[in-house]
């Protein structure tokens, strides 16, 4: 069957149609809100909700049209129910429930980070259990993925996520935030000297798998205030590039060090692990990919990373998580009356490891 996936947890309205039997992407559409939030220095929930509402119907229509199907031809609708911004999640959930109830489709509630973690399996033969580094705008996690809904947490961030740090640095450097702050910092860093600023490595005295980016963020802000104050100009371009490169060197070395340790821990408890999967928006970063390639080789693992456009938020990952959950019977039937139900169940704060409905599943 075909699964429609809907993502609206933050500032992207993403919709896709994925074929369950082989993971083929038959249609996909995405509406981005970067320009709406840029003047505000962050995502404004109310504006994001309005933008999702304005974009939702046409984005669904466009994905269905590309796939050449009607909603009634689908087997299921999968939607991100959390974690994320409540106002935004509700727009997607409402649309998904309407579609499912109106056409008698199966309804699959999806965890946003599970979708990031699993999407690579749509196109690559990655088997459970695998080690996963999840790096995005709001999360920084190292987990063992034992199966759908079954995760062991090895480490997470004590403060900010690395994607958030990239976004902040992009803003401080006066960069264009499109397509993302992270991509802009990565591009500018190519022109810079990564050794010019000696930012210190976070959590050097803590030999565990946790992360911290608040200190690095502050150090970068102070460097910019001292060396390149005021607006970005051609005159201070080199120093800004040096700061970007120096930030990136430390930000990625921190990920690399923690991932190496996590791989050792993970292989210790789960010798069957064969793959290191990196997912979430920051996984689009080319330098991160090459550094983790080294870690994977050292540890005897295969590095697997989704295509860059599947790293940042999109509907495909939600549809694919839906495919995986459908195969395990983890779906709901919605009564036709629930179309008009104004009440929608979203889970704005939802730890990846808290999935009671799946915990009882047997090993695949
Ligand atoms: P979460 O998934 O935690 O809810 P999110 O959905 O907002 O957060 P994603 O869309 O998964 O985050 O990822 C977006 C993040 O990825 C942003 O912080 C962005 O700056 C970062 N990012 C995107 N491309 C790159 C890149 N090439 N290098 C570094 N960071 C990047
Ligand atoms: Fe995300």
- In this prediction, residue 363 carries a pLDDT of 36
Cα 211 to Cα 157: distance, rounded to the nearest angstrom:
4
How much is the average pLDDT of 337-344? Answer: 62
pLDDT above 70 for 179: yes
pLDDT of residue 340 exceeding 70: no
Mutate to test the pocket of ligand 1, among 180, 245, 248, 252 (most ligand atoms within 8 A of CB): 180
In this structure, what token pair is assigned to residue 243? 């700061």
- Per-residue pLDDT at 358 exceeds 60: no
**pLDDT tops 60 at residue 321:** yes
Supply the residue whose CA is at minimum distance from atom 2 of ligand 1: 136
For residue 339, the model assigns a pLDDT of: 59
Q: What tokens were used for 355?
A: 């999935």
Ligand 1 residue neighbourhood (C-beta within 6 Å):
9-10, 84, 112, 116, 136-139, 163-164, 166-167, 180-183, 186, 280-282, 284-285, 312-313
Identify the nearest ligand to the CA of 12 by its number.
Answer: 1
CA distance 101 to 333: 8
CA dihedral 356, 6, 46, 175 (to 10 degrees): 110
What is the average pLDDT across 117-128? Answer: 98
State in Å: Cα 183 to ligand 1 middle. 9
Centre of ligand 2 to C-alpha 239, Å, is 31
Query: What's the per-residue H, E or C state across the chain?
Result: CEEEEEECCCCEEEEEEEECCCCCEEEEEEEECHHHHHHHCCCCHHHHHHHHHHHHHHHHHHHHHHHCCCHHHCCEEEEEEECCCHHHHHHHHHHHHHHHHHHCCEEEEEEHHHHHHHHHHHCCCCCCCEEEEEECCCCEEEEEEEECCEEEEEEEECCCCHHHHHHHHHHHCCCCCCCCHHHHHHHHHCCCCCCCCCCCCCCCCCCCCCECCHHHHHHHHHHHHHHCCCCCCCCCHHHHHHHHHHHHHHHHHHHHHHHHHHHHHHHHHCCCCCEEEEECHHHHCHHHHHHHHHHHHHHCCEEECCCHHHHCCCHHHHHHHHHHHHHCCCCEECCHHHHHCCCCCCCCCCCCCCCHHHHCCCCC
**Which residue is closest in CA terms to ligand 1's atom 5?**
137
Segment 93-119 shows an average pLDDT of 97
Query: How many residues appear in the chain?
Result: 364
Instruction: Say how far apart CA 187 and CA 177 lie, in whole Å.
Output: 12
Is pLDDT above 90 for 345?
A: no
Centre of ligand 2 to C-alpha 317, Å, is 10
Average pLDDT in the 244-269 region?
Answer: 98
The atom number, within ligand 1, closest to the CA of 162 reads 18
Average pLDDT, the chain: 95
Query: What span, in angstroms and rounded, lies between the C-alpha atoms of 186 and 182?
Result: 6
Residue 342 has pLDDT above 60, yes or no: no
User: What pLDDT, on a 0 to 100 scale, did the predictor assign at position 355?
Assistant: 81
Q: pTM of the full predicted structure?
A: 0.96
Residues 8-30: tens digit of each pLDDT: 999 999 999 999 999 999 999 99
CA 80 to ligand 2 centroid distance, Å: 10
């Amino acid at each position: 069957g075909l699964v429609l996936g809907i993502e609206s947890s933050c500032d992207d309205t993403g919709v896709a149609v994925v074929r369950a039997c082989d993971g083929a992407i038959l249609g996909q559409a995405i509406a981005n809100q970067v320009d709406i939030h840029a003047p505000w220095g962050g995502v404004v929930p109310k504006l994001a909700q309005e933008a999702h509402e304005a974009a939702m119907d046409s984005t669904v229509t466009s994905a269905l049209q590309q796939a050449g199907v009607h909603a009634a031809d689908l087997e299921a609708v999968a939607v991100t129910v959390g974690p994320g911004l409540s106002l935004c999640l509700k727009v997607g959930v409402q649309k998904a429930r309407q579609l499912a109830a109106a056409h008698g489709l199966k309804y699959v509630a999806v965890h946003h980070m599970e979708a990031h973690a699993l999407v690579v399996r749509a196109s690559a033969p990655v088997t459970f259990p695998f080690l996963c580094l999840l790096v995005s705008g709001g999360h920084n996690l190292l987990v063992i993925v034992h199966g759908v809904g079954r995760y062991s947490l090895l480490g997470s961030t004590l403060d900010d996520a690395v994607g958030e740090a990239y976004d902040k640095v992009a803003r401080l450097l006066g960069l264009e935030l499109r397509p993302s702050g992270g991509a802009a910092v990565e591009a500018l860093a190519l022109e810079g000297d990564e050794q010019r600023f000696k930012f210190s490595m976070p959590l050097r005295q803590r030999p565990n798998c946790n992360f911290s980016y608040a200190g690095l963020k502050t150090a970068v802000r102070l460097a910019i205030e001292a060396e390149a104050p005021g607006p970005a100009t051609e005159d201070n371009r080199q120093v800004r590039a040096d700061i970007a490169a120096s930030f990136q060197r430390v930000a990625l070395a921190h990920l690399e060090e923690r991932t190496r340790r996590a791989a050792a821990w993970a292989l210790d408890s789960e010798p069957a692990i064969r793959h290191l999967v990196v997912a979430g928006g920051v996984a689009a970063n080319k330098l991160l990919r090459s550094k983790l390639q080294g870690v994977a080789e050292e540890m005897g693992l295969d590095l697997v990373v989704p295509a860059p456009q599947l790293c940042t938020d999109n509907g495909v990952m939600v549809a694919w998580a839906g495919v995986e959950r459908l195969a395990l019977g983890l779906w709901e039937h919605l009564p036709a009356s629930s179309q008009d139900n104004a009440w929608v169940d979203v889970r704005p704060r939802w730890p990846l490891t808290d999935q009671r409905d799946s915990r009882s599943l047997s090993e695949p």
